[in-house]
Amino acid sequence: MNDTPSICSNKTVTILVVDDDSRVNFIISEFLETFHYNVISCNCGYDALKVIEERAIDLVLLDIVMPDIDGFSVAKKMKAFFGKDNFVPIIMVTGLTDMDEKIAGLEYADDIVSKPCSHKELLARIKVMLRIRSLQRELVASRKQYHFLYENVPSMYVSIDEKLMVTNCNERFRVKNGVLKQEIIGENIGDFFLKEDHNALDKFIESIKLQLSVKNDPVLVLTPVNSSLPHIFVSLSGVYMGDEHGLGYSVEIVMQDVTNNIKIQQEQRDARKQLYLSARLASIGTLAAGVAHELNNPLTAILGFSSALLNRTGDNADIDKAELKQYLSIINSQTLRCRDIIENLSKFACEAETKIENFRIGDSVDNVIGFLGSKVNKKNIKITVNIPETIIAVADSRKFEQTLIYILTNSIEFCNEGSIVTIAAASASNMVKLSVEDNGPGIAPDIVPKVFDPFFTTKNVGEGAGLGLAICHHMMEECNGNIDIESEKGRGTKVTLELPAG
């Protein structure tokens, strides 16, 4: 392989040769020019310092002993002038043989060559130094590019060390905190977040350090150093730089301001909640009509027997104690029935926080069937229940019952008179599965995927808002459960509710 430098690679390289011996200057300059290097020569140190101020230099060949200022001082001044980001190699070419002086020369120079030296050795050393310069310039360019990206990336960017202290941060993070960089560097990263979020922050950093995958970027609350600025929600992602190459431990954290997204999500939740409430109120109105009908029977009995007692006491007629006891027992039992009907309606209408607790599935199913008794009887629907008493679910029993009321009401409304509805439950894999299956008309295959969509309904305009099953889906999510529907046109429908087992 030919190691001779090409014209293209050398014609832009300028080498400064500094030696008080004009003959040495001429020989070295002439030799380097044969390899197409641009060469500038000087006979003294001060002239050399003046040249580097006026011309761009890529490498310096510097003698130590000169008439005005020694090479050590010249090298020191040159390095100070070039700066740390502009590596211009200095090779000292000297006739001195003292080892201490050579070592002293390397304090500011990058290499040292003893006179006399062969042209091949000198050329080899020049090529090595120029290669190092080229690599250093690439490194500086990469560092500047990284710094530019770090500062201008459209996210907050923070670097922390093994003690969780901030070692660097970009402009966006400084702006969000309303302070200068020096007020951030050296502070613990936890100081920028709510105390309530510190545990989540520690877990996040530990997962990054262990290079564990994080399913969802955690969202924490950033508390700006400048207390006049509002708190903001930020999602976190990051990368662990480690210390494999001796560069120091570092975790790079990227923060996205998601405050607006959080606000929008909250507004959407509030809107959905209002929709669900409106739909529930509409359902309550529908159920109230059935409840009024169901109350009519016990109230008729109460009114009849109480009126009979009043009439007989008004006529001063004798009343047999056994007969009186029977009348009062009927009045009492029918009054209790009215109370239960009203309590069930109140339970359905009540809006409360989700309360997760153990409850018997069978008891809740009995409550719902009792509540819908008038609707069931009116259409002569037969409901069969197959639920072992030992099955316990962990959820909000009230919301589960509300969901079941929606499902059974739908089944009753769409089924023909005399239809059969089967309710069954079983436990499997730490979950309770309850199914409600009817032999009604079923649902067309193109409609099944849409039944949980808000406002989707197959009823006529004004007969339903299309929120019933959407509410069911919402309430099952609040209970940490699932709801699924299977149906085939003409062959009935099966709804499955899945809840954590107790």
Cβ proximity of 90 and 109 under 8 Å = yes
Element (H, E) at 167: strand 166-169
Contacts 24+ apart (CB under 8 A), 344-349: 344/370, 344/371, 345/284, 345/287, 345/288, 345/291, 345/371, 347/398, 347/401, 348/280, 348/284, 348/287, 348/401, 348/402, 348/405, 349/280, 349/281, 349/284
Question: What pLDDT is stored for residue 466 in this prediction?
Answer: 44
Architecture of the domain defined by 353-502: 2-Layer Sandwich (3.30)
DSSP 292-314: HHHHHHHHHHHHHHHHHHHHHHH
Q: Please list, in sequence order, all residues whose beta carbon lies within 8 angstroms of the beta carbon of residue 63, skipping any fewer than 6 positions away.
A: 18, 19, 20, 21, 24, 71, 92, 93, 94
Which of the four pLDDT bands, split at 50, 70 and 90, describes residue 461? very low
Q: What separation, in Å, do the N-terminal and C-terminal C-alpha atoms of the chain show? A: 78
Question: What pLDDT is stored for residue 305 in this prediction?
Answer: 82
Question: What pLDDT is stored for residue 41 in this prediction?
Answer: 93
Question: What pLDDT is stored for residue 282 in this prediction?
Answer: 61
What count of Cα atoms within 13 Å lies in the side-chain half-sphere of residue 79? Answer: 17
Segment among 14-18, 179-183, 301-305, 447-451 with least mean pLDDT: 447-451
Strand order in the sheet with 38-42: 38-42, 14-18, 59-62, 90-94, 111-114
Cβ proximity of 498 and 482 under 8 Å = yes
Cβ proximity of 110 and 130 under 8 Å = no
The CA distance from 471 to 454, in Å, is 8
287 or 392, greater pLDDT: 392
Cβ proximity of 167 and 184 under 8 Å = no
- Whether the pLDDT of residue 6 is over 50: the answer is no
The token pair at 444 is 């067309």
The token pair at 62 is 């510097």
Largest CA distance in the chain: 152
Q: Secondary structure of 73-123 in the HEC alphabet? A: HHHHHHHHHHCCCCCCCEEEEECCCCHHHHHHHCCCCCEEEECCCCHHHHH
380: left (phi over 0), alpha (psi -120 to 50) or beta: left
- Whether the pLDDT of residue 278 is over 80: the answer is no
Q: In the beta sheet, which residues pair with residue 38? A: 14
DSSP 256-270: EE-HHHHHHHHHHHH
Summarize the confidence of residues 427-435 as an average pLDDT. Answer: 84
- Residues 128-151: pLDDT tens digits? 999 999 999 999 898 888 888 888
Question: What pLDDT is stored for residue 7 in this prediction?
Answer: 38
Name the fold adopted by 153-257.
Answer: Beta-Lactamase (3.30.450)
Question: What pLDDT is stored for residue 287 in this prediction?
Answer: 57
Q: Please list, in sequence order, all residues whose beta carbon lies within 8 angstroms of the beta carbon of residue 231, skipping any fewer than 6 positions away.
A: 194, 221, 222, 223, 224
pLDDT > 70 fraction of the chain, expressed in percent and rounded: 82
- Does domain 7-149 correspond to CATH entry 3.40.50.2300? yes
Summarize the confidence of residues 185-214 as an average pLDDT. Answer: 88
Question: What pLDDT is stored for residue 235 in this prediction?
Answer: 93
Which of the four pLDDT bands, split at 50, 70 and 90, describes residue 190? very high
Strands 493-500 and 232-240: unpaired
pTM over 0.85: no
- Residues 196-210: pLDDT tens digits? 999 999 989 988 888
- Whether the pLDDT of residue 289 is over 80: the answer is no
- Whether the pLDDT of residue 465 is over 50: the answer is no
Segment among 263-272, 291-300, 354-363 with least mean pLDDT: 291-300
Summarize the confidence of residues 440-468 as an average pLDDT. Answer: 61
For helices 259-314 and 468-478, angle between their N-to-C axes, nearest 10 degrees:
110
- Whether the pLDDT of residue 458 is over 90: the answer is no
Query: If you average pLDDT over every residue of the chain, what do you get?
Result: 83
Which of the four pLDDT bands, split at 50, 70 and 90, describes residue 242? low
497 or 317, greater pLDDT: 497
The token pair at 285 is 């109105």
Which of the four pLDDT bands, split at 50, 70 and 90, describes residue 371? confident
Q: In the beta sheet, which residues pair with residue 160? A: 166, 251
Summarize the confidence of residues 263-272 as an average pLDDT. Answer: 78
Which of the four pLDDT bands, split at 50, 70 and 90, describes residue 330? confident
- In degrees, rounded to 5, the angle at the alpha carbon of residue 329 between the alpha carbons of residues 326 and 335 is 145
- Residues 38-72: pLDDT tens digits? 999 999 999 999 999 999 999 999 998 888 898 88
Domain boundaries, the chain: 7-149, 153-257, 264-351, 353-502
The CA distance from 183 to 377, in Å, is 75
Strands 232-240 and 482-487: unpaired
Question: What pLDDT is stored for residue 413 in this prediction?
Answer: 83
Summarize the confidence of residues 424-453 as an average pLDDT. Answer: 80
- Whether the pLDDT of residue 241 is over 90: the answer is no
- Does domain 264-351 correspond to CATH entry 3.40.50.2300? no
| Fold equal for 7-149 and 153-257 | no
Element (H, E) at 158: strand 156-160
What count of Cα atoms within 13 Å lies in the side-chain half-sphere of residue 313? Answer: 7
- In degrees, rounded to 5, the angle at the alpha carbon of residue 472 between the alpha carbons of residues 344 and 428 is 95
DSSP 187-217: SBGGGGB-GGGHHHHHHHHHHHHTT---SS-
pLDDT > 90 fraction of the chain, expressed in percent and rounded: 33
Summarize the confidence of residues 439-446 as an average pLDDT. Answer: 80
The token pair at 302 is 């109460």
The CA distance from 317 to 309, in Å, is 10
